[in-house]
Structure 1
């Protein structure tokens, strides 16, 4: 990724985190990439009951701001979406929000009997660890948040 792309991401992320005028909507991620079809600015929003209407409002807000700022040279596409139902869990706040839900976790360093992968229900969350319950094993596991490489919600049908 170029320095220009990183600067655009950083500028857009900071502006939206501090100026987004919609209650209950927060910025989850911002990326700016060169793709086959051209440059794409992706803004991912999150919050309680965030859906298509909020995506449209944020899209209009971002387009208006970018037009006034002239931050991006040339043509680009703007995509505003939500993280989706199998969203990544990136921090303690995310785990707290989805307590009681099932997630998949991959660890950086193995625990127990050289284990790195878990799928279970988020039971407890504190500053430095989460406790998940793996149903098919009838076991609880304490997982250090700093040891989590990747975590995402599982679609539970």
Structure 2
């Protein structure tokens, strides 16, 4: 049931969010007494403004209400994915060029972890500059998880 709801919400949110340079990263439903729907949105070039989140929330909420996905109450949250969440869309890599990232990837049936600066982002790979190995090209197909390391 939850997977079907998530799929339906993604179908609703995608055309609303994917306008201009914003894009849909993910949808989550956290079940409490009142379900919480999280629609995670990012931008290719800028930070998303509160006004944009508010407008997207209103549009998505209107369609969710019309489609009657939740028969009772629900809470809708439209926000950024946040730094603790792994990158999940190729478009997020270009935005984070020049930032330090921890990348877990698969190569020759083994898993590796590297930390370095995202130096280049191409159609099919990233270039990660590390202290130990110089520059390492990692294909998107081999990436298991990438997390941005916050600067303190």
TM (norm. structure 1) is 0.79
Instruction: Please identify, of 21-30 and 145-154, the stretch whose mean Cα deviation from structure 2 is larger.
Output: 21-30
Deviation for aligned residue 1:93? 2.7
Alpha carbons 2:118, 2:127 under 8 Å: kept = yes
Instruction: Please identify, of 40-49 and 84-93, the stretch whose mean Cα deviation from structure 2 is larger.
Output: 84-93
Deviation for aligned residue 1:150? 0.6
Cα distance in 1 for residues equivalent to 2:71 and 2:106: 39
Change (3 A) 1:53 1:110: farther
Structure 2 gaps, min length 5: none
Alpha carbons 1:129, 1:143 under 8 Å: kept = yes
Deviation for aligned residue 1:138? 6.1
Structure 1 gaps, min length 5: none
SS at match of 1:38: coil
Match of 1:49 in 2: 47
Deviation for aligned residue 1:127? 3.3
Alpha carbons 1:43, 1:80 under 8 Å: kept = yes
Structure with larger Rg: 1
Match of 2:121 among 116, 121, 125: 125
Instruction: Please identify, of 66-75 and 18-27, the stretch whose mean Cα deviation from structure 2 is larger.
Output: 18-27
**CA-based RMSD:** 2.5
TM (norm. structure 2) is 0.81
Aligned length: 150
Alpha carbons 2:57, 2:77 under 8 Å: kept = yes
SS at match of 2:146: strand
